[in-house]
A = this chain, B = another copy of it.
Amino acid sequence: MRGMADKSLEVNLECVNDYSYLYEPTPEQRENIEKITREVISKINEVIEELGLRGVIREVSVQGSFARDTWLPEDTDVDVFLLFDKSFDFEQMRKMTELISGKVAVKLGASIETRFASHPYYVIGFNRVEVEIVPAYKIEDIREMRTAVDRTPFHTSYITSSLLRKPWLKKEIRVLKVLLKRLGIYGAELEVRGFSGYLSEVLVIAYDGLVPLLEAASRWIPWKVLIPHDAPRSLIGTAPLIVLDPVDLRRNAAAAVGLEQLSKFIAFSKIFVENPEILCCMLEGKREVPDYMLDENIIILRLLSHPPLSDDALAGKLRRILDSTRNTLERNGFNVLRGLMVHARRDFFLVFQLETSVLPPLEKKIGPPVWHTNSKNFLRKWASHTPAPFIDGDRWVVISERKIRKAEEVIMNALKVYKGFEWEIMRGEESYWKIAEDEYREIKGVLAGSEIWIYCLKKYVSGHKL
């Protein structure tokens, strides 16, 4: 295992092998998925023949982590791309794919579902494997791209050919993916804003191994990371992490990675270089849920209903609602200790932990400088107030009764802007009675810090180790 050859890090080798069951698919799993994929592709080809679309669909091919052999046993979804001739009409392409997928599902007696990314695709659920049928254009050069997914076959061939030269990196990519999952930062979707599968592969290949990647990341500073190092420096500051896509140098393959998510990766890497055993702890995957009381200063919002949106769009929207509600709370004088989005079972929760959920009766209103023309209006409004307005520095100031003292009121006002969203609002202790036990436990766990990596942090950092 070349990437992990560093003497000081040999300790990892063993544990990485010990926990290999977590990330290496068994031959049976592999066999099963391959069989299913073959079956689906064969039905697709049948349908293409039946519909006389052979001239239009240039290729039916497997893409994604399954094609690259970097998939995790728990991720049993396969991407099958229908690559259309680039002259074909976009709307027609979508319709044809829907038609083909529907007919394939009937032939297989399988379920079918429509999902949305940049454009719709179709998911056939068959023997516990999800086969995603994705339409794209067959292009020869990346610059001919018409839809975002046209790039995927280039990714597949770049990764495949890189791994053909260094097959041992597959294992290290799988370890990274498990690690990112445990850190809660795997996946580019808006709910996660983490590292995509492809980005994980590119990073391990770029650093020639997981350990060199973690060593480099331990020195990263958000907004200042540029990979490769000879990329144009003008890009610095355009995103917390910049990793040029090897198949399309105009694109930041890490554009989806959020600041917090990157910071978590950096934080882990820093601990790792001094305590490499923490990687074993992460792969072992133990966690503990410390006891934590939900008190009246924790306010929980359960999403009851929302406008029709794809999962990803919904997650993005909820994150924006979280941020704006948090800002409104702060502007109204509340100290927000934490604002969290928790996705427990099918329910979405926004959780605000406040320093206090009821503010004191009086507040200081800072008015204009005495020399400013606005001071007229301020005085007109406040001159008769008791206590009288006074001057602090060069500004008019008044101590007045706070209009809204309860956080719930501020939150409800802030949420009014978002039409079509309905919420149930509850204080910490109440939620015990109002939501299902496992959801309550999940929220309590998130608040207490029950993530695996926190468990490992305690184990390896607390006291003396670091």
Q: Spell out A's residues near B (CB within 8 Å).
A: 219-222, 240, 259-260, 262-264, 266-267, 270-271, 290-292, 297, 335, 337-338, 353, 355-356, 359-360, 362-364, 369-371, 375-376, 379-380, 383-384, 386-396, 399, 447-451, 454, 457-458, 461-464, 466
Copy tally for this chain in the complex stands at: 2
Residues of the B chain whose Cβ atoms lie less than 8 Å from the Cβ of A259 = 393-394
A370 CA to B219 CA, complexed, in Å:
10
- CA A263 to CA B461, docked complex, whole Å: 55
Contacts of A375 in B (CB 8 A): 267, 270
Which of A220, A388, A395, A454 is the most central at the interface, judged by chain B CB atoms within 10 Å of its CB? A388
Q: Is the CB of A379 within 8 A of B461?
A: yes
Q: Known: A375-B270, A457-B379. Contact between A386 and B448, CB under 8 A?
A: yes
Complex-state Cα separation, A391 to B457, whole angstroms: 13
8 additional A-B pairs beyond A297-B362, A379-B466, A380-B462, beta carbons within 8 Å, are: A222-B371, A222-B394, A263-B371, A267-B370, A337-B363, A383-B458, A387-B449, A388-B451
How far does the Cβ of A192 sit from chain B's closest Cβ, in whole Å?
14
Which of the residues B271, B362, B391 comes within 8 Å of A337, measured between beta carbons? B362
Least Cβ–Cβ distance between A446 and chain B, in angstroms: 9
In the complex, residue of chain B having the shortest beta-carbon distance to the beta carbon of A357: B360
Contacts of A220 in B (CB 8 A): 371
Q: Are B355 and A391 in contact, CB atoms less than 8 angstroms apart? A: no
Given A380-B463, A383-B462, A466-B379 in contact, is the A389-B449 Cβ separation under 8 Å? yes
| Nearest CB of chain B from residue A145's CB, rounded to whole Å | 33
A221 to chain B, nearest CB (A): 5
Contacts of A384 in B (CB 8 A): 458, 462-463
A412 and B464 CA atoms in complex are apart in Å by 35
In the bound complex, residues from chain B placing their C-beta under 8 Å from that of A388 are 290, 448-451, 454, 457-458
- Whether A391 and B292, one on each chain, are in contact in the complex, defined by CB atoms closer than 8 angstroms, is no
Query: Is B396 in contact with A267, judged by CB distance below 8 angstroms?
Result: yes
Q: How far is the CA of A466 from the CA of B450 in the complex (A)?
A: 61
Pick the residue among B292, B383, B461 that contacts A380 (CB under 8 A): B461
Report the minimum CB–CB distance from A172 to chain B (whole Å).
23
- On chain B, the residues within 8 Å of A393 by CB distance are 259-260, 263
Please, which residues of chain B bring their CB within 8 A of the CB of A355? Answer: 359-360, 362-364
Contact A392 B292 (CB under 8 A): no
Q: Which residues of B contact A449 (CB under 8 A)?
A: 386-390
CB neighbours of A337 from chain B (8 A): 362-364, 399
Whether the pair A387, B292 counts as a contact (CB closer than 8 A) is yes
Q: List 20 A-B contacts (CB under 8 A).
A: A240-B394, A263-B369, A263-B371, A264-B391, A266-B394, A335-B364, A337-B364, A355-B362, A355-B364, A356-B360, A379-B462, A383-B457, A383-B458, A384-B458, A387-B447, A387-B449, A388-B449, A388-B457, A389-B457, A390-B449
**Given A222-B371, A297-B362, A292–B386 Cβ distance below 8 Å?**
yes
For residue A219, which residues in chain B have a CB less than 8 angstroms away from its CB? Answer: 371
Name the residue among A263, A375, A463 with the largest chain B CB count within 10 angstroms. Answer: A263
- Cα(A240)–Cα(B219), bound, Å: 48
B residues within 8 A CB of A292?
386-387
A259–B371 CA distance with the chains assembled, in angstroms: 12
Distance, CA A100 to CA B264, complexed state (A): 80
Residue of chain B at shortest CB distance from A381? B462
Q: Given the complex, which residues of B lie within 8 Å of A364, measured CB to CB?
A: 335, 337, 355
Q: Bound state CA distance, A379 and B461, in angstroms?
A: 7
A106 to chain B, nearest CB (A): 48
Q: Is the CB of A353 within 8 A of B399?
A: yes
Q: B396–A290 contact, CB under 8 A?
A: no
CB-based nearest B residue for A217:
B371
A115 → B minimal CB distance (Å): 31
Q: Which residues of B contact A391 (CB under 8 A)?
A: 260, 263-264, 267
Pair A376/B466 contact, Cβ less than 8 Å: yes
Nearest CB in chain B to that of A393: its residue: B259
